[in-house]
Amino acid sequence: MLTTESLNNEKVDIRLYSPQALAFLGDAVYEILVRERIVHRANMPVNKLHLQAVEQVRASYQSKAYAVVEPVLTEEELAALKRGRNISSIKPPKNGTMQDYRRATGLECLFGYLYLKGEIQRINELFLMIEEHLEQGE
């Protein structure tokens, strides 16, 4: 779980960051949450940990996570989500759909946005919601 103590931020105007930069950071924030959860659940060989993490950070999984959090977002959070989703220079990976990749980028943008704002509790809230919904098979 992320804590506010892990931040060393001054107040910044988040609107000055490109959605690509927010998604870049948000990808790391999301992945650390996934990895931490996997490690806490089981001490296993690294290759098994890696395979579990890859499954949960791929675009198709994050696209499902997008659908879980979208209805509960504030207007400001929804704007960050849509900024990431609507990036025009997105090139999807070979084994994913454009819609999944756009939605995954939107989710990453949201997590980067919230991280830079220092809203760690909200990140943890949304991640827990994703975890609960997707582990139950939606």
What is the C-alpha to C-alpha distance for residues 103 and 100, in angstroms, rounded to an integer?
Answer: 5
Residue 84 has which token pair? Answer: 């990431």
27 labelled catalytic = yes
Four-CA torsion 79, 85, 89, 94, nearest 10 degrees:
170
Q: How far apart are the first and last CA of the chain?
A: 22
Residue 83 has which token pair? Answer: 């900024």
Q: Which entry of 22, 25, 27, 130 is annotated as an active-site residue?
A: 27
For residue 62, give the nearest of 136, 127, 1 by alpha carbon: 127
Q: Catalytic residue positions? A: 27
